[in-house]
Amino acid sequence: MLPLAQLRAVHHCFAGFYILRRRLASYSVFALLLMGVALSIRPAAAGIFNPESFTLANGLTVVVLINDRLPVVTQMVWYKVGAADDPPGKSGLAHFLEHLMFRGTGDIAPGEFSRIVSRNGGVDNAFTSSDTTAYYQTVAADRLELVMKLESDRMANLALDEKEVLPERQVIIEERRARTDNNPGALLREQMNAMQYLNHPYHIPIIGWRHEMAGLTRDDAIAFYKQHYAPNNAILIVSGDVTVAKVRELAEKYYGPIKSVDIPARARRQEPPQIAARRVTLESDRVREPQFSRSYLAPSYSTGAKEHAYALQVLDTILSGGATSRLYGKLVVKDEIANSVSASYDVSNYDWGTFSLGGQPRGEVTVAALEAAVDAEIALLLKDGVTQEELDHAKKQLIASSIYALDSLRQGAQTIGTALTNGQSIADAEAWPERIEAVTVEQVNAAARHVFDMTQSVTGYLLPAKPEKRS
């Protein structure tokens, strides 16, 4: 089993409550009927989490989401910096610093942060994505002041000893070996991603390239910390059994004294026009079942043809949102040529996103045959478009996911944090159901025509090694 420190990083930014729609495919018809009742009584213009926000004098944005169902609270601190902001030649630095943030301050010994949270009945963790790094704790409501004190301390007072830095660097290298180097599927995704983005730093793995990770130093981490970890580059989100007045009081007390710094503008290399489809094949003796994958460069909420972002979420659900969806219903249920098939849309990046398709062929069916069948379904969709019935069903699934989001303390903080660190506003996040509801058949068809452009695609095959290549 990997040490806890090796499990801290989550290498994908969550897309908020949109991701929750994946849960809906497993719910019964009865559960869906209940969701329909809930939707019918929900005010059309109501928000989802109804947060309140304010900004401290030092630039720290504070968001409060009140949920008093249980005497529990979650604190999340989001920094507007991620792996795509790593300096050239130092890939993995943002993720490395995430690990080092648990290695102590002048007042807190290395590793003691998590032990204090645990002794007080709480849990804590952190994650790094391409665009953000976030830290969170969930504790009893009366322990909020404790975790605010701890988190604000490491925002300003991280202290790194060389004897702590070098072993932690080895931890992230071992993490890469376990999660990527020894996982053929992860290696294929890494190679596809490197081909998807020709110039933008999204083509670099969040965890980093191993040869560059091996050269990361204490000075690299400290410089990155001083440049990016400051209240005016952060968002504090508190969700749970709290009041705005109490959060304001504690935020002023613990975060308020921290000085702001000059934050450099994000200067990321941008994508040139993509004019040719790309293809990659990975063979491995670790692979037993072949797989087909394809990704297309796609707009996000903030980059590219942004007007398609909400329609593409609906399209994703039409294609793979349950047993009756287009791809699953045709290729798995009816034709029985695939064991699994899926679509996914990465909408919440600060820059470009991707729209992906994939599946595992059944029995003697080849990945080429499955790819051809998927292409035929996409061609049919582009020719005839989606139906009003498909649209209505997909929108109900998606909007219902926002109701489920209310059951989780962290989901609201995750959704708002993702929005605020990736160029959206609280109003954008709160208006999500209304914007999904407003999507039309014509908009979905236009979004499909826009995204399914083979010149902006990467296709991957994951195959068992040929007998002569097996070790």
Give whole-number Cα distances, 24 to 31, 355, 400, in Å: 9, 20, 9
Tokens matching residue 226: 């001083």
| Residues paired with 128 in a beta bridge | 133
Edge-to-edge, what's the strand order for the sheet holding 353-361? Answer: 278-284, 457-464, 291-298, 353-361, 338-346
Question: Is 83 within 8 Å of 91 (Cβ atoms)?
Answer: yes
Task: With H, G, I as helix, E, B as strand and everything else as coil, classify residue 158.
Answer: strand
Choose among 19, 11, 14, 35: nearest CA to 313. 19
98 classed as catalytic: yes
Taking only the tens place, the pLDDT of each residue in 158-198 is: 999 999 999 999 999 999 999 999 999 999 999 999 999 99
- pLDDT given for residue 208 in this prediction: 98
The whole-number average pLDDT for the span 218-236 is 98
Task: With H, G, I as helix, E, B as strand and everything else as coil, classify residue 69.
Answer: coil
| Percent of residues in the chain assigned helix, strand, coil, to nearest 5 | 50, 15, 35
Q: Cα separation of 218 and 216, whole Å?
A: 7
Domains of the chain: residue spans and CATH: 4-254 (3.30.830.10), 278-469 (3.30.830.10)
- H or E segment at 250? helix 244-254
Distance between start and end Cα atoms, the chain: 26
Task: Count Cβ atoms below 10 Å from residue 37 Cβ, excluding itself.
Answer: 9
Q: Cα separation of 1 and 248, whole Å?
A: 41
Q: Cα separation of 329 and 324, whole Å?
A: 5
Percent of the chain with pLDDT over 90: 84
- pLDDT given for residue 40 in this prediction: 38
Q: Which of 107-116, 135-144, 246-255, 461-470 has the lowest mean pLDDT?
A: 461-470
Q: Cα separation of 309 and 301, whole Å?
A: 6
Confidence of residue 26 (pLDDT cuts 50, 70, 90): very low
**Residue where the block lists tokens 């999507």:** 439
- pLDDT given for residue 27 in this prediction: 33
Choose among 273, 278, 316, 303: nearest CA to 131. 303
Q: Is the pLDDT of residue 442 over 90?
A: yes
Taking only the tens place, the pLDDT of each residue in 95-140 is: 999 999 999 999 999 999 999 999 999 999 999 999 999 999 999 9
Confidence of residue 217 (pLDDT cuts 50, 70, 90): very high
Catalytic option among 52, 98, 252, 307: 98
Taking only the tens place, the pLDDT of each residue in 291-344 is: 999 999 999 999 999 999 999 999 999 999 999 999 999 999 999 999 999 999
The whole-number average pLDDT for the span 417-438 is 95
Confidence of residue 469 (pLDDT cuts 50, 70, 90): low
Q: Is the pLDDT of residue 384 over 60?
A: yes
Tokens matching residue 7: 């499990």
Global pTM?
0.89
Q: Cα separation of 201 and 106, whole Å?
A: 34
- pLDDT given for residue 432 in this prediction: 95
Q: Cα separation of 436 and 402, whole Å?
A: 11
Q: Is the pLDDT of residue 452 over 90?
A: yes
Q: Is the pLDDT of residue 44 over 50?
A: no
**Residue where the block lists tokens 């902006």:** 456
The whole-number average pLDDT for the span 430-456 is 97
Helix 309-320 with 441-451: angle, nearest 10 deg: 90
- pLDDT given for residue 402 in this prediction: 79
- pLDDT given for residue 32 in this prediction: 35
Q: Is the pLDDT of residue 22 over 90?
A: no
Choose among 109, 298, 130: nearest CA to 206. 130
